[in-house]
Each structure stands twice: as structure tokens, then as C-alpha cells.
Amino acid sequence: MKAENKQYAVIGLGRFGLTVCEELHQYGSQVLAIDINEERVKKATDFVSTAVVANCANEETIAELKLDEYDMVMVAIGSDINASILTTLVLKEAGVKTVWVKANDKFHAKILTKIGADHIILPERDMGIRVARKMLDRRVFEFHQLGSGLAMTEIVIGGQNMGKTLGQLDFCQMSDVKILALKRGPEIESAPEHSKILEIGDILIIVGPEDKLAKKIRSL
């Protein structure tokens, strides 16, 4: 994953926001970290491009920081729902390209949807879904909802499919499901050929309609 040319801003530097900042930084992204708490801002200075103390719930701050020039802004404000909603609204009215927001509950998420948030994260709910899916099938490493009914998943190949070609898997017979890559040990092969012979432990990275992926996972 390459994100060197992408610019991100994260507003709210609690545990969730700091984790987002650190992960983006590890992939080479330019990250602007923002919070009204000076101590939290200091924590982010080791792994972001810029960290500032600011209140993004007003238009002047958004304009001064030029957040409309960023590729994506994450609103990760924690317990202050009013600040989260107001910040999201101001960002959208300022013309910010893409705004992702952490929501505390379904009611919070509903309001964020109505004011134009581009993507909403419910951390506890999303993590619960991922854990349940792993409990149901240990062959599934990750299952990420991408929005618009799409999802991406990582699946490990077991003995049942050892020696088969990639093209023999049910996934490869579906026009709207794509195999993005195959991981074998430390090597990653992008867009592998359908003639690729599968080995135990191979990991397939697949993207497609969430409902179809969920149904087809059991076929492996």
C-alpha cells in the first residue's frame, strides 16, 4: 500500500485518533493531527507531519488550516457528540473532499449521515463483526466493509484446495469479485494469473460485493 502523495488530517487525538495517525504515518502519508488538548497534541508529534492545537468546530480554523486541500479528514472526536457533529458539518460546508467520522452509537451515526459524512465508523460494532466472523471461520483473516455494499477480505488456503489452480475457485467464476493479490510467505503477487497453483497457507486478498463474499467464504 502506497500513500506517499496523500494528505490526511485527523481531528481528535484520543486512543482511536492517535492509532489512525500512527498507522497512516507508517504507510508514508502526510498527516496533520489536531486536538484542542495540548497534551494529546504532544503525543502525536513523534509520528505525524504536523500537530496543532485547534478547535475545528468553526469556519475560521478550517480555512486557516486549509483542510479543504486534504484528500481526507477523519473526525475522531470522542465523547463530545456535539463537537463531532458541528465539526463534521463545518468541514462539509467548507468543501472538504472526503470526511470520515467516528460515531459513538447509532443515533450519532444517523445524524452524521444526514449532515453529509462520507463514511461513518462505529469502532465497537465494527470490531465485534470482525471478531464474530473470525470465530465462525478461522480461515478468514480480515473482512473490511468498504461502503456501497463492497467488502475486502483475506482468506487462507487450506488442504482442501491445495494443488488447485486459482481459476478453479468459485470466487474466480464471479465477474464482480476480484482477486487483488496472493501472499505466499513474505512474497506478494498482485493480480495473480488464474493458472496459479495454490499451496496450503497461501493468502488471497479478495474484493467484491459483501453479501456474495460472505456466502462464498464457506466454499474454501
- 78 or 68: which leads in pLDDT: 68
How do beta strands 150-156 and 203-209 pair? antiparallel
- 25 and 49 assigned to the same domain: yes
CATH, residue 148: 3.30.70.1450
**2 within some domain:** no
Q: Which of 96, 124, 152 is the C-terminal boundary of a domain?
A: 124
E strand or H helix at 30:
strand 30-35
- 29 and 97 assigned to the same domain: yes
- 50 and 141 assigned to the same domain: no
**34 within some domain:** yes
- Check residue 2 and give its pLDDT: 45
The total number of residues shown for the chain amounts to: 220
Domain span including residue 184? 137-218
CATH, residue 22: 3.40.50.720
Q: Which of 103, 124, 145 is the C-terminal boundary of a domain?
A: 124
Work out how many domains the chain is built from and give that number. Answer: 2
**Alpha-carbon span 56 to 84, nearest angstrom:** 9
**117 within some domain:** yes
Q: Tens of pLDDT along 69-113?
A: 999 999 999 789 999 999 999 999 999 989 999 998 889 999 999
Q: Tens of pLDDT along 103-134?
A: 988 899 999 999 999 999 888 777 666 556 55
**Alpha-carbon span 176 to 29, nearest angstrom:** 30
**86 within some domain:** yes
pTM (whole model) above 0.85:
no
- 169 and 80 assigned to the same domain: no
Question: Is the distance from CB of 171 to CB of 179 less than 8 angstroms?
Answer: yes
- 111 and 22 assigned to the same domain: yes
**89 within some domain:** yes
